[in-house]
C-alpha cells in the first residue's frame, strides 16, 4: 500500500503540473478526491488490512489527502487569478467610441435670452406682468401720449384687426377704441398701473408686431421686454444704473456702453443706451451702420401724461421705464446674421442653441 | 433729413469736423445716421424726431441747436430793405376757420424769367437730396431747407376770379396735384379753391391747374401755417406726402412765415428773376404767443438724479434761447420760443437741462427704495417649467409667426367663421391671425421632415378667435417621423404628455375619444385622424387635444411622414398644476411581482383589461403595469393582440404568502377568461 500511495502522489504531482485550467483542476479533484477517486480507493482498501497497518496506512492516506487538497487549493487560486485577469481583459472597452446619447431638446434662443433677463430683474426685486397681443388702440397708443394725430405713430407701423371698435371707460368718460396687434409691450404699462398701486417694479415680456417689410434686420413679429419702476423717488441716474447693470450681466463686465438722447413720446426726458458693436469691435460694419455702436435700450422718465392716463397723480409719483429688444439681444449674443431665422422653425438653426 | 455741413458751418462758427458734429448731435440731440462726403461738402443724415422738426428740422434750427450745445453764436442773414407795408388786395383771401390756417403770408412777384438757379444753390440742394428744377422751385426748396418754412408758388394768373378760399374739403371732391396724381378727398382735408375750382392741396402739394409753368408772368409766393393734425390725417388718408407735408404734419411756427417769405424774396431778387414787390399779404388774426413753463431747479435735479444746481439750469436755458420771466428762487417761469413746439411742461425743460449736461456724464445709480419681494407670476413660472421638462425629454422649442393665410387655412380645413382677419394685410400670408397654435407647429414639423428623419418640437404660442373675441395661449407638442405607421409616434407623444403632466403634479387626466361631433369644440379635433385622436380631460373639463394629423392634411401640406400633435390650454394647465408634494411611507413589506399575458380582440381597449384586472385583484393588487403590447402575424390574422402586464402584489400590514398571491391571480385569470380571452401566465 505504501507504494500505491507513493504512486498516487507522484501521478498527482505530475498531473497538477500539467493542469492549466480550472476545468482540468476540477477533473483532477474528482479523479483524486471524488467518491470514486484514487484517495477514496485507498481508504476503501484499508478495511482489508490488518489493524496495525490500517492505522499507519490510514494516517499516510490522510496526509496524502490533505496534501492533494492543499495543492489543489493553491493551484486553483493561482489559476483563478490569471483566469479573472483574462476575463477582465476580454471585457476591454473602446473608450474612444462616442457615448450613447438620447437626443436632447433645445430651448429657443429668445427663451434663453428672455430667461437670462428675467433672472437679472427678478434678482433686483422685479415682478413679471403680461398683457394681450390683441390690444386696444387706447393702451397701445393713446394712453402713452401717442394720440391718433401724432406723427410719431408712424415710427410704429400697425396691423389693425378687422373688428368693430370697443368701448373703454376712462375716468368718468367712455370712448370707442380700435383693436390692433400691439406694436410695443409698453401697452402693458397703463393696464398694469390701473390695477396696481405704487410703489412697484415690473418687467413686461411679450411679442409685438410691426407692419414692416422684413429683411435680415427687420421683423414683423418680435420679442420685447419692457421695464417700469414707479416710486416716490426714482431718477434718470437710476435708469442709467439699471441699464448698465443689465448689459454687464448679459455681455460681461467689460462691455462698453453709452447713454444718449432719445425720443419716445411716453417718456421725458428720453434716452437710449448703445453698446459697442460686437460684430466689428467698433471698427465699423454693416450691422452698426459704420458707427461702432448698436442701440439696444431705449428708455426714460415716465411722461406725466401717461400717469394721468392711468389715473395716477403725476405730482405724487415718479417713474422710469425702458424697453429691451429681446430679439436684438439674441442676435447680438449669438451672432445670428438674419433675424428671420428666429421664427423660421428650422431645426437646423434651433439645434445650435 | 439731410443737412449740408458747409451750410451749417456758414450759419454758426462750428469748429468740429462733420463726424464730430454728428457725434455731438447723437449724444445730445438726436441720431445722425450717416455722414457722407459729397464734393467738397458733407451730408449729415439726421433722424430728426417729429417733435423737433419744427425747430431743428432745418439748417438755421440745427445750427442753433449745435451753437447752443457748444456755447457758440448763430449768424443772422441781413434782409433786403423792402417796403414793409400790406399789399393792395389784388387777391381776396378768405380763411374758413382760423384753426385751419393760423397765418397766411404771401407776396406777389413779377417773374422776369424762370431759368436755372445758381450753381452754389444747386450744389446745396443736391447735398440735401433735392433735385434742382428751376429758379423758383429751387429757391423755395432752399428757403424751406434753411428756415423750415415750406413755401409754394402759384401762377397768379391761373387763380380764377382773384379769390382764394381756404377751407376743409367735402368728401368726394377731387383735385389733381402738380405731380399728376388725382386725389379723391376725404372730408376735412385743407384745400384752397379759387372762384371756380380747387387749386391746392394745402400744405401737401399744389394743384396742377395753378402751377407755375413756362408762360407764367406773375407768381403768388405763399408761406403759410396750416393745422398739423389735418395735414397729417390727409397724408394718411390719401397715402400721399411730400417734404412740405412732413414738416407741416409735425407743426410749424406761424411766427416764422414772414421771415421765410422775405428771405425767399431776397434770394429771388439776388438771382434777378423777380421784380421788387410792392408789399405783403399777411393774415394773422391771432398771434401765437410764447409758452411759459414753470420750472423748479430742485425738482429737476431730483428727476435727473444729479445735483446740477440753479446756475447750471439757468445757463442751459440761456444757451437754448429761453428767457427766465418771473418767479422766485426755487420756482421759475421760463418762456420758450414759439418754434420749440416740443416744450410744454416742466419735464420737457428738465430734458433740455439734462441733455445740455450730457447723459454720458451722468453718474449711474441704482434705485433706493423699499425692499418688496417680487410677486411670483405662476403662469410664467409654469411655462418655464414645461419648457425645461420638454427640452429635457428631447423636444426642441420653436417660436413661429402668428399670421396665416387662406392657403394654410384650407390645408388644415379650418372654417373661417371664428378666424380673425387683419384690416391691412401685407400679403396673402398675413391675411389672418392664426386661429389655433397647432397649425403652425404641424407645418413646421412637416418642413423639418425635409431635413430630418424624426422631429420633436414644442412651443408655447398664441392664437386668436372671434365671436367671442379670444386670445389663447397653448402648449403644442409635435412628433413626426418618416416611414412609420404613426402608431409609435402617437404613443411616444402620449407618453411625453403624461410625463409632463406628472411633473406638474397632474395625474388624474383621462383621454376621451367619444367626441361629440355636434359640439362647437369638435372643430378642435377635426385636424386629426378620426380613429387616432382624443380629448385630454380632467374630470369633465377638456384641457387639450391629442392625435395624429389627418392623412388628408398630411398630403396637403406635403409631409414626408406621419405627424402626431398635442395642443393643451396653457391657462388651464397653469391653474391645475401644483408643485406641492407630500411624503407617503415607503411600503415596509416586500412586493411580489407576477406576470400575466392576455390575448384580446384587436379593438379591445387596454383600459378595459386593466379595469377587469384591478377589480378582480382587490386591495392586495398594488399596481398593474403594461409592459408588452404585441401582435405577430398569427395574431394579426386572427385580429387579436397580446397584452402583457406586471402585476404587483403588496400589503401594508404583512409579508404576503405565495398562496395569497396565487389566490388573487386565480381570481384575475377567471375574470379574464370569463370574457373568453386567452390568458397566459
Residues 443-502 of B with CB under 8 A from A: 443-444, 447-448, 451-452, 455-458, 462, 464, 466, 469, 471
In this structure, are B165 and B278 located in the same domain?
A: yes
How far apart are the C-alpha atoms of B490 and A260, rounded to whole Å? 55
CA angle B535, B539, B545 (to 5 degrees): 15
- Whether residues A199 and B369 touch (CB distance < 8 A) is answered with yes
Q: Nearest-CA residue of chain A relative to B434?
A: A134
Whether the pLDDT of residue A170 is over 80: the answer is no
What average pLDDT does the structure give for chain B? Answer: 93
Q: Is B28 on the interface with A (CB under 8 A)?
A: yes
Of A218-222, B323-327, B339-343, least confident by mean pLDDT is: B323-327
Sort strands A293-302 and B41-46 into parallel, antiparallel or unpaired: unpaired
Residue range A313-331, pLDDT digits in tens: 999 999 999 999 999 999 9
Domain A109-350, CATH homologous superfamily name and number: Bira Bifunctional Protein; Domain 2 (3.30.930.10)
Share of chain B above pLDDT 70, in %: 97
Between chain A and chain B, the number of residue pairs with CB atoms below 8 A apart is 237
**How far apart are the CA of A318 and the nearest CA of chain B, in angstroms?**
8
Residue range B134-187, pLDDT digits in tens: 999 999 999 999 999 999 999 999 999 999 999 999 999 999 999 999 999 999
Q: Nearest-CA residue of chain A relative to B358?
A: A260
Instruction: Check residue A287 and give its pLDDT.
Output: 79
Instruction: Check residue A175 and give its pLDDT.
Output: 86
Q: Is B72 on the interface with A (CB under 8 A)?
A: no
Residue range B537-578, pLDDT digits in tens: 998 899 999 999 999 999 999 999 999 999 999 999 999 988
CB B270 within 8 A of CB B235: no
SS3 for B307-319 is: CCCHHHHHHHHHH
Any idea what DSSP says for residue B331?
A: S
Instruction: Check residue B83 and give its pLDDT.
Output: 54
- Whether residues A103 and B394 touch (CB distance < 8 A) is answered with yes
Q: Residue range B64-76: average pLDDT? A: 93
Nearest to B364 among A207, A231, A241 (CB): A241
In this structure, are B103 and B226 located in the same domain?
A: yes
- Whether residues B367 and A231 touch (CB distance < 8 A) is answered with yes
Residues 419-448 of B with CB under 8 A from A: 420-424, 426, 430, 433, 440-441, 443-444, 447-448
**How far apart are the CA of A262 and the nearest CA of chain B, in angstroms?**
6
In this structure, are B343 and B429 located in the same domain?
A: no
How far apart are the C-alpha atoms of B582 and B399, rounded to whole Å? 36
In this structure, are B96 and B27 located in the same domain?
A: no
Residue B634 has, within 13 A of its CA and on its CB side, a CA count of: 3
Sequence ranges of the domains in chain A: 2-90, 109-350
Whether the pLDDT of residue B89 is over 70: the answer is no
Residue B637 lies in a domain: yes
Residues 367-426 of B with CB under 8 A from A: 367-377, 379-380, 384, 387-388, 390-403, 420-424, 426
Q: Nearest-CA residue of chain B relative to A135?
A: B471
What average pLDDT does the structure give for chain A? Answer: 92
Any idea what DSSP says for residue B162?
A: G
Q: Residue range B87-93: average pLDDT? A: 76
Q: Is B263 on the interface with A (CB under 8 A)?
A: no
Of B388, B549, B407, B380, give the one whose Cα is nearest residue B473: B380
Q: Is B351 on the interface with A (CB under 8 A)?
A: yes
Residue A160 has, within 13 A of its CA and on its CB side, a CA count of: 11
In this structure, are B257 and B339 located in the same domain?
A: no
Count of the separate structural domains present in chain B: 5
Instruction: Check residue A278 and give its pLDDT.
Output: 85
How far apart are the C-alpha atoms of B198 and B17, rounded to whole Å? 48
- Whether residues A268 and B371 touch (CB distance < 8 A) is answered with no
Residue B121 lies in a domain: yes
Q: Residue range B227-235: average pLDDT? A: 95
| Cell numbers describing residue B356 | 445740455
Q: Nearest-CA residue of chain B relative to A352?
A: B396
Q: Tell me the range of B87-101, B370-384, B435-449 where mean pLDDT is highest.
A: B435-449
* Band (A152; pLDDT cuts 50, 70, 90): confident
Which of B519, B545, B576 terminates a domain? The answer is B576
CATH number at residue B268: 3.50.40.10
Of A299-303, B510-514, B522-526, B560-564, least confident by mean pLDDT is: B522-526
Q: Which helix (H) or strand (E) holds A127?
A: strand A127-128
- Whether residues B392 and A104 touch (CB distance < 8 A) is answered with yes
How far apart are the C-alpha atoms of A208 and A180, rounded to whole Å? 11
Nearest to B384 among A115, A127, A201 (CB): A115
Long-range contacts of B500-505 (CB under 8 A, 24+ apart): B500/B386, B500/B389, B500/B390, B500/B393, B503/B385, B503/B389, B504/B382, B504/B385, B504/B386, B504/B573, B504/B576, B504/B577, B504/B578, B504/B579, B505/B577, B505/B578, B505/B579, B505/B580, B505/B581
Residues facing B46 on adjacent strands: B32
In this structure, are B134 and B199 located in the same domain?
A: yes
The DSSP code sequence of B27-61 is HHT--EEEEEEETTEEEEEE---GGGHHHHSSHHH
Residues of chain A with Cβ-Cβ distance to B204 below 8 Å are none
In this structure, are B303 and B223 located in the same domain?
A: no
Instruction: Check residue B226 and give its pLDDT.
Output: 98
Q: Choose from A100, A103, A111 for mutation: most chain B CBs within 10 A.
A: A111
Q: Tell me the range of A100-104, B518-522, B639-643 where mean pLDDT is highest.
A: B639-643
Residue B43 lies in a domain: yes
* Band (B681; pLDDT cuts 50, 70, 90): confident
Instruction: Check residue B544 and give its pLDDT.
Output: 94
In this structure, are B275 and B296 located in the same domain?
A: no
How far apart are the C-alpha atoms of A65 and A60, rounded to whole Å? 9
Instruction: Check residue B535 and give its pLDDT.
Output: 92
Whether the pLDDT of residue B245 is over 70: the answer is yes
Sort strands B454-465 and B470-482 into parallel, antiparallel or unpaired: antiparallel
Residues of chain A with Cβ-Cβ distance to B366 below 8 Å are 238, 241-242, 245
* Band (B195; pLDDT cuts 50, 70, 90): very high
Q: Nearest-CA residue of chain B relative to A353?
A: B396
Residue A82, phi then psi, degrees to nearest 5: -70, -40
Instruction: Check residue B80 and give its pLDDT.
Output: 60
Whether the pLDDT of residue B79 is over 80: the answer is no
Which of B518, B548, B576 terminates a domain? The answer is B576
Instruction: Check residue B520 and give its pLDDT.
Output: 55
CATH number at residue B409: 3.30.930.10
Residue A164, phi then psi, degrees to nearest 5: -60, 150
* Band (B87; pLDDT cuts 50, 70, 90): low
In this structure, are B419 and B492 located in the same domain?
A: yes
Q: Tell me the range of A16-30, A54-68, B89-103, B556-570 where mean pLDDT is highest.
A: B556-570
Residues of chain B with Cβ-Cβ distance to A351 below 8 Å are 396
Sort strands B396-397 and B454-465 into parallel, antiparallel or unpaired: parallel
Instruction: Check residue A21 and give its pLDDT.
Output: 85
Instruction: Check residue A259 and give its pLDDT.
Output: 97
In this structure, are B565 and B623 located in the same domain?
A: no
* Band (B368; pLDDT cuts 50, 70, 90): confident
Query: Angle between the B346-357 and B297-304 helix axes, to the nearest 10 degrees?
Result: 60
CATH number at residue B669: 3.30.70.380
Residue B367 lies in a domain: no
In this structure, are B599 and B667 located in the same domain?
A: yes
Of B73-82, B139-148, B342-351, least confident by mean pLDDT is: B73-82
Helices of type H across A181-316: 187-195, 236-251, 304-309
Instruction: Check residue B434 and give its pLDDT.
Output: 97
The boundaries of the domain holding residue B436 are 378-576
Residues of chain A with Cβ-Cβ distance to B424 below 8 Å are 159-160, 211
Question: What does pTM read for this prediction?
Answer: 0.87
* Band (B582; pLDDT cuts 50, 70, 90): confident
* Band (A350; pLDDT cuts 50, 70, 90): very high
Residues of chain B with Cβ-Cβ distance to A128 below 8 Å are 377, 380
Residues of chain A with Cβ-Cβ distance to B402 below 8 Å are 133, 207, 209, 221
Instruction: Check residue B82 and give its pLDDT.
Output: 57
Residue range B277-299, pLDDT digits in tens: 888 899 999 999 999 999 999 99
Length of chain A: 353
Whether the pLDDT of residue A171 is over 80: the answer is no
Whether the pLDDT of residue A20 is over 60: the answer is yes
CATH number at residue B56: 3.30.56.10
- Whether residues B423 and A159 touch (CB distance < 8 A) is answered with yes
Of B387, B290, B388, give the one whose Cα is nearest residue B343: B290
In this structure, are B135 and B214 located in the same domain?
A: yes
| Cell numbers describing residue B327 | 418767479
Share of chain B above pLDDT 90, in %: 83
Q: Choose from B423, B446, B450 for mutation: most chain A CBs within 10 A.
A: B423
Amino acid at each position: 500500500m505504501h507504494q500505491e500511495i507513493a504512486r498516487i502522489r507522484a501521478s498527482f504531482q505530475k498531473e497538477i503540473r500539467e493542469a492549466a485550467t480550472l476545468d482540468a483542476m476540477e477533473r483532477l479533484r474528482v479523479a483524486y478526491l471524488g467518491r470514486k477517486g484514487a484517495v477514496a480507493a485507498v481508504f476503501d482498501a484499508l478495511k482489508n488490512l490488518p489493524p496495525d497497518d490500517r492505522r499507519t496506512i490510514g494516517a499516510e492516506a490522510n496526509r496524502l489527502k490533505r496534501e492533494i487538497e492543499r495543492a489543489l487549493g493553491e493551484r486553483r487560486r493561482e489559476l483563478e487569478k490569471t483566469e479573472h485577469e483574462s476575463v477582465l481583459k476580454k471585457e476591454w472597452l473602446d473608450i474612444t467610441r462616442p457615448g450613447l446619447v438620447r437626443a436632447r431638446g433645445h430651448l429657443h434662443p429668445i427663451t434663453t435670452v428672455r430667461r437670462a433677463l428675467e433672472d437679472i430683474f427678478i434678482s433686483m426685486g422685479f415682478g413679471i406682468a403680461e398683457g394681450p397681443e390683441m390690444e386696444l388702440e387706447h393702451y397701445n397708443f393713446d394712453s402713452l401720449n401717442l394720440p391718433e394725430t401724432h406723427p410719431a405713430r408712424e415710427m410704429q407701423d400697425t396691423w389693425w384687426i378687422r373688428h368693430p371698435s370697443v368701448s373703454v371707460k376712462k375716468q368718468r368718460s367712455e370712448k370707442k377704441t380700435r383693436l390692433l396687434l400691439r406694436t410695443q409691450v409698453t401697452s402693458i404699462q397703463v393696464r398694469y398701473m390701473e390695477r396696481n398701486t405704487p410703489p412697484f417694479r415690473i418687467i413686461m415680456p411679450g411679442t409685438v408686431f410691426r407692419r414692416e417689410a422684413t429683411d435680415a434686420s427687420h421683423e414683423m413679429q418680435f420679442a420685447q421686454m419692457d421695464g417700469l419702476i414707479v416710486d416716490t423717488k426714482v431718477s434718470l441716474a437710476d435708469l442709467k444704473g439699471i441699464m448698465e447693470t443689465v448689459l454687464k450681466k448679459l455681455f460681461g463686465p467689460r462691455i462698453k456702453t453709452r447713454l444718449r438722447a432719445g425720443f419716445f413720446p411716453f417718456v421725458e426726458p428720453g434716452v437710449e443706451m448703445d453698446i459697442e458693436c460686437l460684430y466689428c469691435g467698433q471698427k465699423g460694419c454693416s450691422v452698426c451702420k459704420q458707427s461702432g455702436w448698436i442701440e439696444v435700450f431705449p428708455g426714460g422718465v415716465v411722461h406725466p401724461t401717461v400717469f394721468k392716463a392711468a389715473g395716477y397723480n403725476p405730482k405724487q409719483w415718479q417713474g422710469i421705464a425702458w424697453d429691451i429688444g429681446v430679439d436684438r439681444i439674441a442676435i447680438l449674443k449669438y451672432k445670428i446674421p438674419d433675424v428671420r431665422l428666429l421664427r423660421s422653425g428650422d431645426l437646423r438653426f434651433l439645434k445650435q442653441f | 433729413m439731410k443737412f449740408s455741413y458747409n451750410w451749417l458751418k456758414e450759419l454758426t462758427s462750428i469748429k468740429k469736423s462733420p463726424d464730430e458734429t454728428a457725434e455731438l448731435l447723437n449724444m445730445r440731440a438726436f441720431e445722425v445716421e450717416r455722414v457722407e462726403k459729397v464734393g467738397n461738402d458733407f451730408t449729415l443724415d439726421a433722424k430728426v424726431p417729429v417733435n423737433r422738426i419744427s425747430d431743428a428740422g432745418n439748417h438755421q434750427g440745427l445750427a442753433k441747436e449745435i451753437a447752443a450745445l457748444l456755447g457758440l453764436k448763430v449768424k443772422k442773414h441781413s434782409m433786403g430793405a423792402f417796403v414793409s407795408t400790406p399789399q393792395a388786395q389784388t387777391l381776396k383771401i378768405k380763411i374758413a376757420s382760423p384753426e385751419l390756417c393760423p397765418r397766411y403770408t404771401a407776396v406777389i412777384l413779377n417773374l422776369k424769367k424762370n431759368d436755372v438757379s445758381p450753381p452754389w444753390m444747386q450744389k446745396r440742394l443736391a447735398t440735401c437730396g433735392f433735385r434742382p428744377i428751376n429758379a423758383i422751385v429751387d429757391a423755395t426748396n432752399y428757403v424751406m431747407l434753411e428756415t423750415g418754412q415750406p413755401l409754394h408758388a402759384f401762377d397768379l394768373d391761373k387763380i380764377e376770379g382773384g379769390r382764394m378760399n381756404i377751407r376743409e374739403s367735402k368728401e368726394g371732391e377731387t383735385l389733381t396735384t402738380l405731380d399728376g396724381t388725382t386725389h379723391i378727398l376725404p372730408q376735412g382735408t385743407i384745400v384752397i379753391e379759387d372762384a371756380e375750382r380747387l387749386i391746392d392741396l394745402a400744405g401737401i402739394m399744389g394743384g396742377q391747374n395753378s402751377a407755375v409753368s413756362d408762360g407764367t408772368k406773375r407768381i403768388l409766393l405763399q408761406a403759410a401755417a396750416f393745422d398739423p393734425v389735418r395735414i397729417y390725417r390727409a397724408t394718411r388718408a390719401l397715402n400721399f406726402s411730400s417734404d412740405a407735408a412732413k414738416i407741416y404734419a409735425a407743426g410749424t411756427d406761424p411766427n416764422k412765415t414772414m421771415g421765410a417769405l422775405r428771405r425767399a424774396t431776397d434770394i429771388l431778387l439776388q438771382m434777378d428773376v423777380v421784380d421788387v414787390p410792392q408789399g405783403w399779404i399777411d393774415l394773422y388774426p391771432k398771434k401765437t404767443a410764447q409758452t411759459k413753463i414753470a420750472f423748479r431747479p430742485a425738482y429737476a435735479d431730483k428727476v435727473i438724479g444729479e445735483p446740477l444746481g440753479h446756475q447750471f439750469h439757468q445757463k442751459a436755458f440761456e444757451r437754448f434761447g429761453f428767457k427766465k420771466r418771473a418767479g422766485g428762487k426755487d420756482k421759475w417761469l421760463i418762456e420758450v420760443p414759439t418754434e420749440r413746439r416740443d416744450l410744454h411742461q416742466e419735464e420737457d425743460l428738465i430734458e433740455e437741462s439734462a441733455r445740455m449736461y450730457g447723459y454720458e456724464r451722468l453718474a449711474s445709480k441704482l434705485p433706493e427704495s423699499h425692499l418688496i419681494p417680487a410677486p411670483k407670476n405662476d403662469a410664467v413660472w409654469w411655462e418655464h417649467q414645461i419648457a425645461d421638462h420638454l427640452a429635457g425629454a428631447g423636444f426642441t422649442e420653436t417660436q413661429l409667426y402668428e399670421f396665416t393665410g387662406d392657403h394654410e387655412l384650407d390645408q388644415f380645413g379650418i372654417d373661417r367663421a371664428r378666424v380673425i382677419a387683419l384690416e391691412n394685410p401685407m400679403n396673402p400670408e398675413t391675411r389672418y391671425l392664426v386661429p389655433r397654435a397647432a397649425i403652425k407647429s404641424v407645418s413646421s414639423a412637416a418642413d423639418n421632415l425635409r431635413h430630418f428623419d424624426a422631429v420633436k418640437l414644442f412651443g408655447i404660442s398664441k392664437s386668436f378667435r372671434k365671436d367671442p373675441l379670444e386670445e389663447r395661449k397653448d402648449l403644442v407638442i409635435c412628433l413626426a417621423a418618416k416611414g412609420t405607421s404613426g402608431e409609435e409616434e402617437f404613443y411616444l407623444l402620449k407618453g411625453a404628455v403624461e410625463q409632463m403632466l406628472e411633473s406638474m403634479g397632474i395625474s388624474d387626466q383621462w383621454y376621451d375619444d367619444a367626441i361629440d361631433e355636434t359640439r362647437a369644440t369638435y372643430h378642435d379635433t377635426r385636424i386629426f385622424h378620426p380613429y387616432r385622436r382624443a380629448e385630454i380631460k380632467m374630470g369633465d373639463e377638456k384641457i387639450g387635444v391629442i392625435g395624429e394629423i389627418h392623412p388628408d392634411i398630411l398630403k396637403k401640406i406635403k409631409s414626408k411622414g406621419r405627424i402626431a400633435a398635442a395642443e393643451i390650454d396653457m391657462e388651464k394647465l397653469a391653474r391645475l398644476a401644483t408643485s406641492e408634494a407630500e411624503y407617503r411611507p415607503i411600503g415596509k413589506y416586500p412586493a411580489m411581482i407576477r406576470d400575466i399575458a392576455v390575448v384580446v380582440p384587436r379593438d379591445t381597449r387596454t383600459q378595459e383589461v386593466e379595469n377587469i384586472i384591478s377589480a378582480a385583484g382587490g386591495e392586495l393588487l398594488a399596481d398593474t403595469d403594461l409592459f408588452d403590447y404585441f401582435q405577430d402575424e398569427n395574431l394579426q390574422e386572427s385580429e387579436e393582440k397580446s397584452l402583457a402586464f406586471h402585476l404587483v402584489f403588496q400589503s401594508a400590514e404583512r409579508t404576503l404568502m405565495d398562496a395569497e398571491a396565487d389566490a388573487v391571480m386565480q381570481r384575475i385569470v377567471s375574470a379574464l377568461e370569463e370574457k373568453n380571452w386567452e390568458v397566459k401566465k
